Amino acid sequence: MARPPRQSVDLREVEVSPAPQFQGRGANFSQALQALVTSMNSTAVREAILEASDFPLPGDMPAFLLLNQLIYRTTARPTDVADAIGTGRSNVSKIVRRLEVAGLVGRMPDPQNGRQSMIGLTPAGREVAERIVAVSSGAYDLIFNDWTEDEFTQLEKLVVRLVASIDARLDHQIERTSGVRVGQLATRLEGEAEAPSSATPGGAWLHLEGSVARP
């Protein structure tokens, strides 16, 4: 038998307590990071990037997010990206099928398990991926247009170091979920520490995104 709906508490009848205040080491960092992640995960930002990249499946956010995962992973088992895009494993096959019909992804046997298949970008899918990355890179150019190259390089190194440190303490859960080899990024940046950087600030913030996918 279904439970009766619970009535909402009328706050006029109780003493309203303030939310816990952020204090101590990391308080400002925690709030800033929450603001960034929440903003980048917003529907408005996702839809803006989807439209600006001229995604071939207009409005299909789950397909957009799955294709974005393949930018980082190259190939992947469909079930491995389910958590990253916020859907169940049973729904991934439907999303993959829409991308296959559009000619954006293809399949190959899993070299570690011949009974399973892996998906990857087709030439048409890579063209779409390049447009997505270009949109992201253009946004970063705008964001960091008043930063010096040294400032950006320092920020990049510290952020990568932070993510790699967290990943190591979580038994590489970040790498498994995201497909990004953050440990390799950290090692590469350490090796480039003494070399002048000529790279344009760029990348794809889309990797922060998740979504509750529709069937």
User: Does this model's pTM top 0.75?
Assistant: yes
Confidence band (pLDDT; 50, 70, 90) for 151? very high
Average pLDDT of the residues in 131-146: 91
Per residue in 31-48, pLDDT tens? 898 998 899 889 999 999
pLDDT of residue 198: 45
pLDDT of residue 108: 93
Return the residue matching tokens 């508490």. 9
Per residue in 164-176, pLDDT tens? 999 999 998 888 8
Per residue in 38-76, pLDDT tens? 998 899 999 999 999 999 999 999 999 999 999 988 899
C-alpha radius of gyration, the chain, whole number:
21
The amino acid occupying position 33 is: L
Per residue in 101-127, pLDDT tens? 999 999 999 888 877 889 999 999 999
Residue 76, strand partner residues: 119
